[in-house]
A = this chain, B = another copy of it.
Amino acid sequence: MSRARAIEVLQRALRRLPGVGPKGARRMAFHLLERDREGAREITAALTRALDGVVHCKRCNNFSEAELCEICASAKRNARQLCVVETPADLQTVEQAGVYDGLYFVLMGKLSPLDGVGPEDLHLHRLGEVCRDNAVEEMILATNQTTEGEATADYIGDLARALNLKITRLARGLPAGAELEYVDPGTLQRAFLDRREL
């Protein structure tokens, strides 16, 4: 390792990024060194800062730089609603859409027996606490529309019934801008089943 050339070490390191193979890593390494050393310094600084500063919010599990994340700590959020998502990326997507102002609970995963992920890995023992502490009235299950996401939602739904809450699941149907011609059968079936009266 000590004799490996810096540029090869860099290429190998960049391959640890998800979705980056040998060619992508090479392109990145050469681009940074040849055209964007400023960018390389920016990445180094940002990584160092994030590694040092980012922990998990002790209430919702989201990434945070403080004990409580900004959302959990905010007085402006509607504490009567709790949206359960699989990952911080999902949370960020909902936040960026600006369609929800309640609290979150981030599972940091989904039930996946094949990968050895069971209920105990999803911090579910803390979900009840969070609901009681915040006087949550509605739990919105926003796990993915995949087999595992559905199973996770069902499991949490069953658990949460004991908490005496309103439990909802995000609507399924045609995405915005959908052209019927290109919609898959599963989506179409759901769109028919859950059709609404005008």
Binding site for B on A (CB under 8 A): 5-7, 9-10, 12-14, 16-19, 24, 26-34, 36-37, 39-51, 53-54, 63, 65, 70, 87-89, 92, 108
Contact = CB atoms under 8 A, between A and B. Distances in A.
Given A13-B43, A17-B31, A17-B32, 17 more contacts: A5-B65, A6-B50, A7-B63, A13-B47, A14-B46, A16-B42, A17-B17, A18-B28, A19-B24, A27-B89, A29-B50, A30-B89, A33-B50, A33-B54, A40-B47, A41-B51, A43-B43
Question: What is the predominant secondary structure among interface residues of chain A facing chain B?
Answer: helix
Contacts of A88: 30, 34
Contacts of A36: 16
A5 B92 CA distance: 13
